[in-house]
Amino acid sequence: MRHLVRLLRLAFERAPLAFVLGLLVSLATALAGIALLGVAGWFITASALAGIAGAGLMFEFFRPSASIRGLAVLRTFGRYGERLITHETTLSFIVGIRERLFYSFARADFGKLARLRSGEMLARLTSDADNLDGLYLRGLLPAFTAVVGLAAIALSLMYVSPLIALGFVGVLALAVLVAVLLVLRAAPRDARLATLALESLRLRAIDLVRGQAELLLAGRLEAHSKTVLDADRRRHLSANRLNLIEIAGNAASLLGAQASILIALLLGASALHQGKIDAPGVVVFVLVAIGASELTAPLVAAALGTGRTLLAARRIAPRLSEPSLIAADPVEFGQPAAEPGMPILQISGLSGRSGQAVDLAVRDFSLAVAARERVALVGPSGSGKSTLLGLIAGTQVVEGGMVLLGGITVSGMPDRVLREQMVLLPQKSAVFAGSVSDNLRLAQPRATDTELWAALETAQLAEFIRTLPDGLEHKLQEGGKGLSGGQRRRLALARAVLRRPPVLLMDEPTEGMQEELGLAVLSAVFAALPETAIVFATHRKSEERLANRVIDLAPAGDVTSDRGAITIPI
Amino acid sequence: MLSEVSDQEITEPEADRGDAFLAAALRGEATTLKRASWLAAVGESIWPVQAYVLASAIGAMVGGADTTQDLWTPALVFAALALVRTVLGAAASRLAFLGAERVKSRLRQRLVERLGQWSPLDGHKPDSGEAAALFGESIEALDPYLVRYGPARLRATIEPLFVLALVLSQSWAAALILLFTGPLIPVFMALIGSRARAASEAQMVEILSINRYLADRLSGLADIKLLGAVDTAGAQFSSQAMGVKRATMAVLRVAFLSSAVLELFAAVGVALVAVYVGFSLLGMLHFGTYSAPLTFQTGLFVLMLSPEFYAPLRGFAAAYHDRASATAAAGALERAFGSDFVAIPTDPDRSAAADDAATGVQIRNLGFRHTTELPRVLDGFDLEIAPGEWVALTGPSGVGKTTLLSLIAGLGAPEEGEIAFPSPSKDRPATARPRIAWLPQHPFFFRGTIRQNLTLGRGGITDAEIGSALELAQAARLVASLPRGLSTMLGEGGTGVSGGEAQRLAIARAALAKAGLVIADEPTAHLDPATAEAVRGGLARLAAGRTLIVATHDPVLAAAMAREVVMTATGKARP
């Protein structure tokens, strides 16, 4: 519940006016509909009595018929306005939730970010976010309209007859309250189980496709297919219980509504008999009771939806804190700067491991790199090249030793200062949906088009971009779909070059390119960043030759063990 | 998400195919669902009867019948009808749910079978992400349609007619009012609907949904952080998301007009009926009934009924969105269930027993193409491999090495020619699979422990056997270095394995299977020399006494084989 309140506060803050207006307009529209029924009923009953009394021609019909017209118009335009305003609120809420998710994950550690690359984690995250989206529109809105609407009906009919007003509204409210509480109590557990079963169904389907050949040849395809259908069976069992809960809730709600109509009729008749109210009054009560049941009709569905929302809210609530810009982080840090003659990057006794491995992948590693130096890291896969670059850049946990940047220790350096000084091009680099220039300006928001073209030239990508009809404004699909692997890599390199960092770390920068092209790209990057200290991992002999120092991380013997590094002076 | 904000516009022929698929998927449950629709429609049609009871009771009251005693009979009838209505509604909901669940379960069952049989060599096969979406979202998107659309449509067809007939029996004037306002509604809704579609086409060009923008940014968030570009990327995301929001609102402003039209006509209709009834009762109007002037009781009944004339249309309009999304989902499912799929050859009658006696292979005049639009990758290919022989397939990439290996393993059927396994027992690819160990270029690891991944869930394999398989593959130390050893989780959310580690674990997996033929695809590609050496060693130990076919670019590995078959672009082999 705490989570739900927080989410609703978020919806309010995103669009306070639309949030409140949506509630009020929706309430007014609902009440206009009920009033329309009530007034119409009163009008024809009073007309009938006047007609019977022969006073038809003297009956003042102007005001009731004008109210009927007015309420009809109010209801029509109210419905239109209500839908627009509440969808405006909901869309703002949707954007707000996703902005918060973005900024919150931006502060997560790199280990967690690597897991975000998996499609399933993203699918789960977005489906959770989707389940939150209906909270205002399908949760708060009907609940508010029902509660305030019923109170308004009770209050406005109190002066006619408190007994009847409280009687029929009370019965309706009680029945619906019981139905909603029943659903809220029973549904969340099964909503959670059904969601989890569906997620496991998806994962097993993925395994079925990706592991098909292995499963088939090992004779295990049928066994695995059964596990896929088992997940569906578990989903079915939960869905079945949810259906029974829904039926019980709807039955309670419907019977309550019908009972309240009967109560209005019986109490009204008895009051009429006692002369406390007139006949048109009875008709008003009965018709308003009929209208009131429309207020409460969507509540069982809303309670069922809340079950799903609760699970989603619990799962992503920690990710929904106030978004804050990295630029707003306090900086009480001197700018690191290399003193002339001093190495800009100093690494001493660095140790760390890759993932959850028991053994250290990098042990007691030391190195000093000066500006303008180009250092190649070589060694077999598993020798710790990527881990070493990750330790230097702070994407892996440093377990011993330290990294100094311009004489200042990197640990505890605010992110915005560190990333200003040092850029790491990881082994797998991402390209985003949006234009080519959007992608490049991530690195340098104020770069001119000329600067963008220069960076593309360096990455040997300018020629290709020029062939695109929209050039720099060409829209790339998600994940840079439509570009080849090598083109994506070169776009990422152009981005890194645009940063012009004092220290540039690159993990196999020419992956996915032909050897010749790779060499040309790498030489151009070196030429474009003459002052930068560059450390890059490579497994190509030709690229080693571009470096002025080569560090071999090759361990001897067992490929998973590791030894200290050997520096080969050139 | 919001039903109105569907971000997939579907084209007409696709929608038709989706409709046809839906109709076929329903077969078998059509009766159940129809029964559910009728129960729901009959249940809803009880309300007019209840309204008649109420109107009569009140009419008697206003007419001056004095005691409240009179009320007990109509009250009891009303309550009994309410109970019947509740029971019918519950039964309808239950039936519809069960029918829909059976439709969905059957689709999932068929999908499992289809994907299991679908040859990985077929270029039309859905990838794993698409498969997950088919199993999850696509099939679930049918649910609201199955449960809600039928009842809503039936109700929209019969209830207005029922109400109209009841009103007509009392007053032709009131019936005329309904008759003139009602049929106009679908006309105007259709007009506005087409405007809304035009607006959405104008707005939605090149606009992804907000979720897809978010997923795109999150999956590359590490890069954004490393560039120090979190704030820039955040601002870009916000402006893209706000752009989607603006475009969506522009479409909704038009789309909501259609429901406003419905509301308008309903309100006007009810108001006209109220005014007509009121003025008739006042004695100012003298037409519209059949003989006697309109009574109060009749007037009240007509007034109470008239909203019911429009309500089913409102429900149907809401359910119409369910149909649109179900049709889109059905279109995706239809493609997966279409006839243009290539099955893995199977032989239900006969299958070789797992056996590690060396297997011979005979390939005659083999021809194959991936899709009909593409030229053949293999054409007139011949190859004979003796039992226990080690053969390297080499040649430029794209020449069909992986395809050939897959065909030998029975993962697809050749277009022409045949593959046979003459020894130790006569087999064809459809039956020989149990005696083949398969080492793909990118071995797949399931969500599960290393132990489960090595045994693939087969029982009766001891940890000691697993240990020696790992020794053979030089992966024992690797597994021992993991925090939970054999119980370490792999795959989604677990530890990742590097290329060299994956190859060695796959060799261990193959060593645990009894197979006389080992097929390996580029086992040393992208590995550094030391790791490649370890993999070559493991492979040699695995294939000792067995037949080995390996596709490779690695000259050292090729040299370790007894024979090298160089494949050329024409698909002919040069021994």
Of A43, A103, A499, the CB nearest to B234: A103
> Among the ranges A320-324, A478-482, B269-273, which has the highest mean pLDDT value?
B269-273
**Least confident span in A136-145, A253-262, A451-460, B270-279:** B270-279
pLDDT at A403: 93
Say if the Cβ atoms of B218 and A102 lie within 8 Å.
yes
> How far from A119 is each of B1, B133, B419, CA to CA, in Å?
20, 11, 38
Per residue, the 3-state secondary structure of A385-405, as one string, reads HHHHHHHHHCCCCCCEEEEEE
Query: Is the pLDDT confidence value at B427 over 60?
Result: yes
SS3 content of chain B, % helix, strand, coil (to 5): 60, 10, 30
For residue B8, name the pLDDT band (cuts at 50, 70, 90). Answer: very low
Residues sharing a CB contact under 8 Å with residue B548, sequence separation 6 or more, in sequence order:
B389, B390, B391, B517, B518, B520, B539, B561
Tell me the one-letter amino acid at B36: A
* Contact call for residues A477 and A435 (beta carbons, < 8 A): no
How many Cβ pairs within 8 Å bridge chains A and B?
A: 444
Say if the Cβ atoms of A36 and B271 lie within 8 Å.
yes
Task: Taking each helix axis as running N to C, give the angle between helix A162-210 and helix A141-158, from 0 to 180 degrees, rounded to the nearest 10.
Answer: 170
- Percent of chain A's residues with pLDDT above 90: 53
Q: Which residues of A398-415 are buried (b: 16+ CB within 10 A; e: fewer)?
A: beebebbbbebebeebeb
Distance CA B77, CA B82 (A): 9
pLDDT at A308: 84
Please report which helix (H) or strand (E) contains residue A319, including its range.
none
Distance CA B361, CA B138 (A): 43
The dihedral formed by the CA atoms of A15, A21, A24 and A27, expressed in degrees to the nearest 10: -80
Please report which helix (H) or strand (E) contains residue B365, including its range.
strand B361-368
For residue B209, name the pLDDT band (cuts at 50, 70, 90). Answer: confident
pLDDT in tens, A523-535: 999 999 999 999 9
pLDDT at B341: 83
For residue B67, name the pLDDT band (cuts at 50, 70, 90). Answer: low
Of A73, A232, A254, the CB nearest to B108: A232
Higher pLDDT: B500 or A195? It is: A195
Per residue, the 3-state secondary structure of B240-309, as one string, reads HHHHHHHHHHHHHHHHHHHHHHHHHHHHHHHHHHHHHHHHHHCCCCCCCCCCCCCCHHHHHHHHHHHHHH
Tell me the one-letter amino acid at A131: N
Distance CA B458, CA B451 (A): 10
Task: Give the pLDDT mean for A120-145.
Answer: 88
Q: Which residues of A13-39 are buried (b: 16+ CB within 10 A; e: fewer)?
A: ebbeebbebbbebbbbbbbbbbbbbbb
Say if the Cβ atoms of A213 and B54 lie within 8 Å.
no
Say if the Cβ atoms of A432 and B274 lie within 8 Å.
no
Residue A535's DSSP bridge partners are: A375, A505
Query: Is the pLDDT confidence value at A412 over 70?
Result: yes
Angle at A46 between CA A43 and CA A47, to 5 degrees: 80
pLDDT at B197: 67
Query: Is the pLDDT confidence value at A566 over 70?
Result: no
Residues sharing a CB contact under 8 Å with residue B31, sequence separation 6 or more, in sequence order:
none
pLDDT at A247: 97
Pairing mode, if any, of strands A408-409 and A400-405?
A: antiparallel
Q: Which residues of A249-287 are buried (b: 16+ CB within 10 A; e: fewer)?
A: bbbbbbbbbbbbbbbbbbbbbbbbeeeebbbbbbbbbbb
* Contact call for residues A235 and A153 (beta carbons, < 8 A): no
pLDDT in tens, B222-235: 889 998 889 999 99
pLDDT at B98: 96
Query: Is the pLDDT confidence value at B268 over 90?
Result: no
Query: Is the pLDDT confidence value at A45 over 50?
Result: yes
pLDDT at A550: 92
Query: Is the pLDDT confidence value at B528 over 90?
Result: no
pLDDT in tens, A153-172: 999 999 899 999 999 999 99
Task: Give the pLDDT mean for B128-155.
Answer: 90
pLDDT in tens, A237-291: 999 999 999 999 999 999 999 999 999 999 999 998 888 998 899 999 999 999 9
Q: In a mutagenesis test of the B interface, which of A130, A190, A214 is the best target, namely the one with the most B β-carbons within 10 Å?
A: A214
Query: A385, A379, A347, A353: which is closest to A366 by C-alpha?
Result: A347
pLDDT at B350: 62
What is the SS3 assignment for A93?
helix
pLDDT at B374: 73
Interface confidence (ipTM) of the complex: 0.88
Tell me the one-letter amino acid at B527: L
Query: Is the pLDDT confidence value at B44 over 80?
Result: yes
SS3 content of chain A, % helix, strand, coil (to 5): 65, 10, 25
Say if the Cβ atoms of B237 and A381 lie within 8 Å.
no
Q: In a mutagenesis test of the B interface, which of A43, A539, A559 is the best target, namely the one with the most B β-carbons within 10 Å?
A: A559
pLDDT in tens, B148-158: 988 998 998 89
Say if the Cβ atoms of A395 and B300 lie within 8 Å.
no
Chain-wide mean pLDDT for chain A?
88
pLDDT at A337: 65
For residue B64, name the pLDDT band (cuts at 50, 70, 90). Answer: low
pLDDT at B6: 38
Task: Give the pLDDT mean for B459-479.
Answer: 90
Higher pLDDT: A513 or B343? It is: B343
- Percent of chain B's residues with pLDDT above 90: 35
* Contact call for residues A435 and A472 (beta carbons, < 8 A): yes
Q: Is the dihedral of CA B117, B120, B126, B131 positive or negative?
A: positive
pTM over 0.95: no
Task: Give the pLDDT mean for B232-260.
Answer: 86
Residue with tokens 């309706």: A172
HSE-up (13 A, CA, CB side) for residue A143 = 17
Task: Give the pLDDT mean for A381-388.
Answer: 82
Query: B559, B493, B574: which is closest to B524 by C-alpha?
Result: B559
For residue A339, name the pLDDT band (cuts at 50, 70, 90). Answer: low
Which of left, alpha, beta for A364 (phi over 0: left; psi -120 to 50: alpha)?
left
Distance CA A387, CA A401 (A): 14
Exposure of A299 by Cβ count < 10 A (0-12 exposed, 13-18 middle, 19+ buried)? Answer: buried
Closest approach of B249 to chain A, Cα-based (Å): 7
What is the SS3 assignment for B381?
strand
- DSSP per position, B179-213: HHHTTHHHHHHHHHHHHHHHHHHHHHTTPPPHHHH
Structure tokens at A408: 């200042």
**Least confident span in A137-146, A367-376, B181-190:** B181-190
Query: Is the pLDDT confidence value at B346 over 90?
Result: no
- Percent of chain A's residues with pLDDT above 70: 93
Say if the Cβ atoms of A47 and B206 lie within 8 Å.
no
**Least confident span in A211-215, A259-263, A379-383, B72-76:** A379-383
pLDDT at B431: 85
Task: Give the pLDDT mean for B332-345.
Answer: 85
**Least CA distance to A72: which residue of chain B?**
B267
Q: 10 Å Cβ neighbour count for A196?
A: 15
Closest approach of B239 to chain A, Cα-based (Å): 10
End-to-end CA gap in chain B = 61
Query: Is the pLDDT confidence value at A557 over 50?
Result: no
Say if the Cβ atoms of A251 and B236 lie within 8 Å.
no
Query: Is the pLDDT confidence value at A84 over 90?
Result: yes
